[in-house]
Structure formats: C-alpha cells, structure tokens
Amino acid sequence: MTMSHLQGALESPNDHETDVWIEQQIWGHRLYNDQTPWLLLLEALGIMQFRNSDANHSLIFPGLIDGRHENFTYSLAMREELRTILFKDRHIEEIASSGASDAHMWNEWFARVMPGGEGANKLGYLRKRFTHFTAFANAVALLRAAEIESNRTRRATSRHLAPRGPNMLTADYGEGRKGTPNKDRRFFSRGGELLYMMLNRSARRETLESLVADRLLADRNKWDTLARVFQPKEENKSVSFDSLGYLPMPSHPAYDRIAEDWVSLLSLHKLPDDSLLDPLMRLTGLGIIRYMIERATEVLGIDDEMTLAMPIDMVSTTTVGVKKISKDCFRQHRDITRMVIERVVDDVEGTAEWATAKTAVNPVQAINDLVNRKFHFKTDDPVKPAAFPELIKKEAISNHDQHLGRVIGFYAEQIGLAVARKGVGRWYAASDGIIEALVYANVNEPWEFEAFLTKLWDRYGIIIGPHVAGKAFKTFNYGHFKANERLFEERLRVLGLLNRLSDDCAFVKNPFHGGKTT
C-alpha cells in the first residue's frame, strides 16, 4: 500500500506496518520510548560500521541519491560467543575462586556454560588466548564494566557494551526456536535508522565521514581489543535488515544541529575516546527532543519562540519561579505532539477529497477508502462519515500516548535534562553530564558567560537567566531567574568549566579544546 506524506516530505520506499499512519508522516517511522538514547546511538553506529566495512558502499554518508529516500539492506553482528561469556555465564567467578587446577577450571567452566560438550567446541579457543583461567576471569570482569545501562533487566541479546570500537557493536534481537534470531525490533526499533538518516542528510555529512570512521569505528581502543580477544577469529553470524525506517523531510535544521554537535565533539581530540560517548549520547538525545518539538510547530504553523523554549531549573528554593515556567513549557511540549496529530486529521477533513467522498453514492465506503489511503486506518464497524475524524484521532492519540508521546519526557530524563517528582510532575532541569556536554560542543575558546547563555538559547532554546528569559516570556520572576543564573555559573565553576576574572568578567572554558594529543 502506498504511504501518504505531508507536503515537502519524501516518499517512503517501503511499506511499514502501523495501526494509524499519522505520527509517521510528521516525525518518521519510528521513534519509540523503549529505545533509550544509548540504544538509539548504538543502532545508528551499527549501520555506520556496516557501511564503513562493506565493500559495496564507498561512503558512510553518501547523502540522498537522486533526491530519493535512503533504501539499503544492512547487517549487524550477533557476537554470540561474546554475549554468552559476558551476559549468560553465571559460573566464572565461582570457578576462578575454587582453587582447583587450571585445567580443571577450564573444563568445569566449559561444561557449565554450555552443557553437552558445546562449551569446549565453541569456546575452546579462549584457552589458548589466556595464560590461565583466573586471567580470563579478570578480563571478563573488566569488560563487563563496559556494559551500558547495566541496571536494566534485559535479555542477553539486548545487552550492549559502550561502543568503543567495531568489535563492541552488536545486533539487538530476540532468540527464537533453536537459538535462531528473531528480528523483533523491541529495543533497536528504527530510531537509530532515523538518526543515521538525519546525519546522512545534514550539511556536515562530508566532515562527519572521516571523523566517525576515525573516532568511533577504528579498532585501536584497548576495550575494543579486549572484546576482540573474546571472539572467534571469524565472526560470520549476523542479523540482516532489508529496509530502513522512514524519515519524512529531505532536510531540516534539526539534522544540521545534531550533525554539528557530532562534529564538535568528534573534533575534540584531547577528549579521550572513553569519555566521548557519554556527551555524544546526551546531545543526540537533546537533538531528537528538539526535532520532535520543531516538527510539531512546523506542521501546526506556529512561529513563536516561547513554544520552543526550554527553561532549565537549577533546582533550588530560590528558583521556584523557574521551576513553574519550566513545568508549563514541558507540559506544552508534551501536549503539542498530540495537537499536531489532531491537526493532520482536521486538514484532511477539510479537503475537497473529503467533501467529494461525503457526497458519494456510498459515503461510508468512500470515506473508509479515503482514510485508509491517507492514514492506513480501517474499521469493520459501521461508522457514520461525520464520526470518522474523532475515531481516527482517538486511535492515533491512544497509540501516541503509549509510545512516541512519551519520548520527549523519557529522553529528557535519560540525558539529564529533566527531573520528575512524585506528586509534582516533570520539568526541565540539568544534570552535570548534560552541562558538560553543552560546553564541550559549543565552546572552542573562552566564551564570556552571558554570551554562552545566549548561544544556548539561539541553538537549543535553552533558558537559564533573566536576559534570555525576557526574549521568550512576557512575564517572569526576574529574581528567580537571576538566582538560577548564579547557580548555573557556580556549577560550571565546580565542574572546572568557568573562570571568573572579576565581578564583571566570567568566561566559560572547554578543557578539551585544542589540537591533537599523542
């Protein structure tokens, strides 16, 4: 079935199974609340690694070819042995502390990790790579420390390592009968595909090409080397995906903003590779949040700076006025994604096509056919034509509230840009991690403090102090925003990111900006 698209959007080269095709027309297919910013980053890097290593692709980011939506098959490595060792084993520590002979410990572990002789057959190569079993056990403990989101309960095939090189990138899949992979997309739910396409369509893709290959996909990192030791020489098993998700707009300021943040971070050669991924994840998550809000305002035709504003509360008894406005803005951002879905339905109801269908010989069938073409919505229940719009909205909003509608709040918390309190709700507030990421990506030489605050507003819609608040809000508590600004400055100072030279002169600094280091 041919997909419907909003004005200016690309045609989707693939059909996607959806209950209602509305939010996909606005934001794409798909962003999903079960896919955390970390997993979104991992999925995107897996695609980049595939293109970087596959002889059939000369570029990671070729851009749009002939103005058409991206469409290619890609594969991600399963790394079964690595995951068995790290995430399925329950015996290494016990055996390593048993005091038995080295040979006995190896044999005991092989028998317990994969019974029936499979352990020795499939993992026997490890015995040749470690001087003794306890060295192997220590190496396993070390690599397990590189797991991301280790506090989450997930199946072994959905547990991942921080991607410090190509040998640490893995597919996300379910295990079907007899261990066959099941491409259920529970956690790699195409958000990473959308991120890849955003970068591929950005104005900085050519600069990103070499930076991504050098900083993220090179196999020189010590963690990546250790991960390679645990794997057989030939890693042949992979999970293939025959199509990409759908990203509507051929270009967008949000794509360029995300790409610019990537370029800025990847260009910080003094920032250690091990410290690069966290700010990259946080700013990518922020970029997705901004994209969702901006696309909603575009489709609604809203051109209001206040709608895009993100007042960031430093969480103090002296900033309660900031907190109140922050909660209001967060609620508006959550609600606007529902409003735009309703607008898309209303716009179709106002078309000549709808008017013609209402006057057809069989208006019920004609309207049913129309909404099926526009929204992939069908119902076998008898519905009067006038009732169709509300029925579609109800179905679409119900789906939205369960998944995509939760992404903004969920991502904001995950990247350290929001807090939630029982009985109070959620509002925008900054963790140290997101503050550091914003400095790393936006400060290349000492910046005057007020100029830095203005840049955060111009670039992300972030509001800290009263000067910028006055640009977005007609009324606000000046004293509370001024206190918020002072608290933010103090946090920058404590983090080593600000120097105050005098009462009137403070500069934000990036400790990792500069040339390459060896």
For residue 61, being part of any structural domain is answered with yes
Q: Name the domain count of the chain.
A: 1
For residue 208, being part of any structural domain is answered with yes
For residue 27, being part of any structural domain is answered with yes
Using alpha carbons, select from 391, 364, 387, 366 the residue that is nearest to residue 377: 391
For residue 323, being part of any structural domain is answered with no
pLDDT digits (tens, 9 = 90+) for 194-246: 999 999 999 999 999 999 999 999 999 999 999 999 999 876 799 999 989 99
Q: Is the pLDDT of residue 516 over 80?
A: no
Sequential DSSP letters for 52-73: HH-TT-S-S----BTTBPP---
Question: Is this prediction's pTM over 0.75?
Answer: yes
CA-CA distances (angstroms) from residue 518 to 172, 219, 271, 515?
A: 35, 17, 12, 10
pLDDT digits (tens, 9 = 90+) for 418-458: 999 988 899 999 999 999 999 999 999 999 999 999 999 99
pLDDT (mean) for 122-134:
96
For residue 49, being part of any structural domain is answered with yes
Q: Helix H segments across 385-476?
A: 388-402, 407-414, 432-442, 449-460, 466-472
For residue 38, being part of any structural domain is answered with yes
CA angle 456, 460, 465 (to 5 degrees): 40
For residue 115, being part of any structural domain is answered with yes
For residue 223, being part of any structural domain is answered with yes
Containing domain of residue 27, as a range? 18-267
